[in-house]
Structure 1
């Protein structure tokens, strides 16, 4: 039986993910209630404005898939929990580095409690060419306290752990997002908002299979996603680069727990796994010709008519 003679497979991935100098800087008033241990300069209140980037689609769109609210303009209410989860901002960590990439103020955590999520007042230090980084939706106000993120280099090289709890999204979960901007901060009465464009740190993979009428006896019993990286990158991978690189990164396999049926869309989330491409065009050789540790999905299929079992392997990308 040829691979796709009975089952056609369509796959789509979206939401492309899915990133102190030693000299003194100004005087710090130790009686200032906003001064925190580790600050190298006094802070001022600055408006921060969020922009959640529109997802980029890779592959064929699925007509009955749930698209992100970020694809169009509108209010911040929705009846689809998944849409809200893909764009919602519950909290942020703010990091500020000087022009040399060294920590300027201690990282600060902010809850986003207002329904107006697009703008939030935060505290930053004045400085030329400051690098401001935002990490959204950790859900942990102590997250950065035990981590050495004192330079831009250390921040962008940190890999955020990915667990099986992140694979499927429900209405109470939020996608991790990261954004940064280089801006000169000045104390002015009419200080304009600093615009931060946030990128999701996970890719959204949506797929479905369609069983032909002649193969109605075939049933998908199990779906396993293989080669999910164990960590998420803090910065978005440039389009011209692959990530993860090398061969020493850890991966996991995850079994989707669903009642499977033909034509239904299944969605999961995962860290970036862009391992490159293959020049192979022979379907019979795809398993051997794929890049090492490339993402692939297995469908375990049985026949109700004769008891036969089949395994379909699909590489997404």
Structure 2
């Protein structure tokens, strides 16, 4: 697997004294001093500073004859902020209040310093990272800054939805710090179970919670006179939670709340588009060999690509495609996967609508 190492860090003080303190701390790989001003400082007396190293994994992509890993572009690996969670590896109980760190505290540095709870004898932790929520109040409820109950256990944490704004689909033109909208892809990662003690280097692999769906239209085979009116994606869930909604059986639909919105994204009269979307897992249809011929069997909320064209004298037609990996009956759009949709139009439509 190809991975791009991404490390973000922070300064732990403005005074020269504190600077020398942390240089020494880094060189000794120590996490024994409770006076550290790293994010997540606790007065409980059992916390210690740890160094987090984040690795952004590549996308999975279906390339004959097997699925391969494709490294993401720099903008697809970008991290603007993180939430850090620490759970007991056995009981799932939260061991430390979640910590939020953003780029304002991490410019031009090489690692992330954060205070975590020091494990007792025989105890291990599981460190979890949720990146690019863009919301420093995500885990809190009310006005008192109390951590919401859903974040106090590992099982509950996995079922929490990321903020609505972070869960919205977006085009590749809007990704990255140089784009007008500056969107980033939400990510999630879990460390191996480990003991947080005097030498804390915690490596966390991160994977994107969104899929990338690439669409390209080739009309070079048909006579002039056909024009694209609109390329659109429909049935995009306005919902993304920390843990996947996948069931143990990939033939079954994902576990979506009944009240979520399913959105449409119009790209306009373009022949190419790259859209980042939350996972849409609609399962597999047994016995289906062609997605275009058994309309009644297609899942209601399957991600759909619509290409609306005009030709002749006021004639219109809409082509419909259902992306999916591995097989014609697969309607699963999985997180951290790339889906390549190539529409080749070889002749004018015989029917119009």
Do Structure 1 and Structure 2 share a fold, with TM-score over 0.5? Answer: yes
| Residue aligning to 1:105 | 96
Once the two structures are overlaid, the 10-residue window that deviates more, 247-256 or 225-234, is 247-256
Asked if the contact 1:296/1:315 (under 8 Å) is kept, the reply is yes
Asked if the contact 1:91/1:109 (under 8 Å) is kept, the reply is yes
- 1:120 corresponds to 2:122: no
Asked if the contact 1:42/1:125 (under 8 Å) is kept, the reply is yes
How far, CA to CA, are the matches of 1:311 and 1:223 in structure 2? 10
Of residues 148, 160, 185 in structure 2, which corresponds to 1:158? 160
Asked if the contact 2:39/2:100 (under 8 Å) is kept, the reply is no
Asked if the contact 2:125/2:196 (under 8 Å) is kept, the reply is no
| Residue aligning to 1:93 | 83
- 1:178 corresponds to 2:188: yes
CA RMSD, 1 decimal: 3.1
Change (3 A) 1:181 1:249: farther
After TM superposition, the score normalised by the length of structure 2 is 0.66
How far, CA to CA, are the matches of 1:223 and 1:33 in structure 2? 51
Deviation, structure 1 residue 115:
4.0
Deviation, structure 1 residue 141:
2.2
- 1:53 corresponds to 2:48: no
How far, CA to CA, are the matches of 1:196 and 1:37 in structure 2? 21
How far, CA to CA, are the matches of 1:186 and 1:122 in structure 2? 12
| Residue aligning to 1:302 | 310
Change (3 A) 1:35 1:96: same
Change (3 A) 1:270 1:218: same
How far, CA to CA, are the matches of 1:248 and 1:43 in structure 2? 41
Q: Which runs of 5 or more structure 1 residues have no equivalent in the other structure?
A: 1-28, 61-67, 73-82
SS at 1:153 equivalent:
helix
How far, CA to CA, are the matches of 2:197 and 2:189 in structure 1? 23
Change (3 A) 1:56 1:158: same
Deviation, structure 1 residue 235:
2.1
Cα shift readout 1:120-167 (whole Å, capped 9, x = no counterpart): 121111122212111111222222222331111110011224458532
Asked if the contact 2:57/2:206 (under 8 Å) is kept, the reply is yes
Q: Which runs of 5 or more structure 2 residues have no equivalent in the other structure?
A: 1-32, 142-147, 177-181, 325-353
- 1:131 corresponds to 2:99: no
How far, CA to CA, are the matches of 2:44 and 2:259 in structure 1? 36
Higher relative contact order (CA 8 A, sep 6+): 1
| Residue aligning to 1:271 | 278
How far, CA to CA, are the matches of 2:169 and 2:298 in structure 1? 26
| Residue aligning to 2:339 | none
How far, CA to CA, are the matches of 1:297 and 1:135 in structure 2? 30
Asked if the contact 1:137/1:177 (under 8 Å) is kept, the reply is yes
How far, CA to CA, are the matches of 2:300 and 2:39 in structure 1? 49
Change (3 A) 1:183 1:231: same
SS at 1:143 equivalent:
coil
Cα shift readout 1:208-266 (whole Å, capped 9, x = no counterpart): 111133243111111221111121121245885455236835342323233413xxx31
- 1:258 corresponds to 2:282: no
